[in-house]
Structure 1
Amino acid sequence: MTDVTSDAYDDLFLGIPLPLPRPADGREVRDLAYPRFTVLLEPVRRLAVVTAVNIDGSELHDLPRTGEWQLDARVPAAEQTGPAVYAANDLDRGHLVRRRDPGWGSTAEAREAMEATFFYPNAAPQASSFNQSKELWLGLEDHVLQFADTTGERVSVFTAPVLADDDPPYRGIRIPRRFFKVAAWATQEGGSSHLAAAGFLLDQSELIDVSQGALAVPALGAFRTFQVPIADIQELSGVDLGELVAADVLPRFDGPGAPVRGEAAWRPLRAPADIVLS
């Protein structure tokens, strides 16, 4: 694959206007359009600050995995976290927009979109250790799609690492300790459509240790997954999530602009049954 189509994230996909979230501080980003998704690449951190994808669950394909990781020629290699960061260690190239998510429509369209997810701006370093919590994180979109089945199975998902200043340095980048995901869908109430959304956080802090100058993955570490107020995600990530905050199915009751409540007040997820979507 050498070319990238540019139909990108559609902010009217749900039938309700939902603009692409952007950094609240107006920092410079690179807008990269791919089939049915968009990546906002933060050139200083060399990682995405936001990704946004439209998923039509009624037209998804289950195609064999094709595509190879590659740099995006539209931006300098020095602004991307490329193959050197992932070489000879226990880091995975963690898809932000999942391979399957934009893979809908015709078979050719689905294959092109799936292969486009293998550009490095759509990846972020994740510990390779696999456990039940990470499996849950990987399946959140599927769970939301199943829930949204009665409204046409259309979901828009926003995913990115939380780019914190105290993320540990490694090979010229800083490895994110947390990742956020916000899923949005339309609900029918009183004869009209309303936006609904749910926010999630994955924490890999226990699995990332660079204190000795090299990456180490503690044997007893674990991924931790939470459902959290979208307002908390907005504060932690520095991304303006707009209408998604008000549409949260897990609202905060301490008012807008309140400080992040933190892990003690978040909802830990151990199985899909723990997720609140209504």
Structure 2
Amino acid sequence: MAGREGYDEGFLGIAVPLPRLTAPRVETVVLPYTHFSVLLRPDRRLAAATAVTIDGERLVEDVPRTDDWRYDPRVAEDWQAGPEVYRNNSLDRGHLVRRLDPVWGATAVAVRADGDTFHYTNAAPQADVFNQGKQVWQGLENHLLDHAARFDRKLTVLTGPVLHDADPPYRGVQVPLRFWKVAAFVHDGVLAATAYVLDQSPDLTRDADRALAGAVPGAPPPLGAFRTYQVPVGDVALLTGLDLGPLPGADLMPPARAPEGRWRRLEAPDETVMNL
């Protein structure tokens, strides 16, 4: 793990700092990898945030996928949600920094970046069911990467789970029910940002009996169908307790006139308001 420089805050030419927790006395550890960094919360054994740089002009295609998940040797294993969390159940190891995003530059560097994404510090439990909501979330990730590649654009993408005290416990971790993503880029010479939330909590308005009945001791918590929203960047900061620096002020999403319009549920990736 030597020589990892991690996330470059000045990559866009305008400083976008690594997110940090605003709550006092919550320990975090910054772990640098190739083209990205992880802000680890040892008390939750999960990342509070990740940050990756994407150079659309220098992306490397056809890097073989290893699927070699492993602990980061720089921190204690009991600070990381390891293989025991995902064994013999319906939970996926959800990449936070997407495997393809940091895979750019010289071939050897790109291959190393690919491998770095398979550390347990860069994963969080997600429902393994594939549905339309999850397809939208993954399509959104592809939309961002494809745009960077097509227009040789640089992007910074921040991602993480929403770590709430009420998240359900399972095998020594609390399973997050929401995930967030903020994309930052330079548009017409100024910093711009958009934010998204993926919700895998059970829909208790319709599925309360089934969801609660599924809460079997020793089994993974019941999770609902994925729902993807575009949200104000400032809402992500409030949900997570993270300082997102200049990004709330660079939000491209128009302010909603009514509370019910504040979060826009996305049915397809191209519904996002990005003005790219």
**One fold, TM greater than 0.5?**
yes
Match of 2:269 in 1: 272
Q: 1 CA distance for matches of 2:74 and 2:115?
A: 17
Cα shift at 1:265: 3.0
Match of 1:211 in 2: 215
Task: State the Cα deviation string for residues 181-240 of structure 1 (Å, max 9, x = none).
Answer: 00000012xxxx21000000000012887632222556xx41000000011110001111
Is the Cα contact below 8 Å between 1:53 and 1:97 reproduced in 2? yes
Matches within 5 A, 1:95-106: 95-106=95-106
Q: 2 CA distance for matches of 1:50 and 1:215?
A: 23
Match of 2:58 in 1: 59
| Counterpart residue type for residue 25 of structure 1 | A
What is the root-mean-square deviation in Å for CA atoms of aligned residues? 2.0
Match of 2:38 in 1: 39
Amino-acid identity (%):
50
Range that drifts further, 58-67 or 138-147: 138-147
Structure 1: any 5+ residue segments left out of the alignment?
A: 255-260
Matches within 5 A, 1:90-129: 90-129=90-129
- TM-score, normalization by structure 1: 0.88
Q: 2 CA distance for matches of 1:137 and 1:4?
A: 33
- CA change 1:131–1:222 in 2 (3 A) is same
| Counterpart residue type for residue 51 of structure 2 | A
Is the Cα contact below 8 Å between 1:4 and 1:116 reproduced in 2? no
Structure 2: any 5+ residue segments left out of the alignment?
A: 204-210
Cα shift at 1:139: 3.0
Cα shift at 1:5: 3.3
Task: State the Cα deviation string for residues 100-142 of structure 1 (Å, max 9, x = none).
Answer: 1100011111000000000100000001001122122123233
Task: State the Cα deviation string for residues 61-109 of structure 1 (Å, max 9, x = none).
Answer: 2212125000111111111101001011000000000111100011111
Q: 1 CA distance for matches of 2:3 and 2:99?
A: 16
Match of 1:257 in 2: none
- TM-score, normalization by structure 2: 0.89
Q: 2 CA distance for matches of 1:146 and 1:194?
A: 21
Range that drifts further, 136-145 or 74-83: 136-145
Match of 2:175 in 1: 175
2:250 maps to 1:252: no
Cα shift at 1:264: 6.0
Cα shift at 1:268: 0.4
SS at match of 2:7: coil
- CA change 1:176–1:216 in 2 (3 A) is closer
Q: 2 CA distance for matches of 1:224 and 1:131?
A: 9
Cα shift at 1:144: 2.7
| Counterpart residue type for residue 43 of structure 1 | P
Report the number of matched residues: 263
2:199 maps to 1:199: no
- CA change 1:19–1:151 in 2 (3 A) is farther
Match of 1:161 in 2: 161
Cα shift at 1:151: 6.5
Q: 2 CA distance for matches of 1:9 and 1:71?
A: 20
Task: State the Cα deviation string for residues 14-41 of structure 1 (Å, max 9, x = none).
Answer: 1111111111114210110000000010
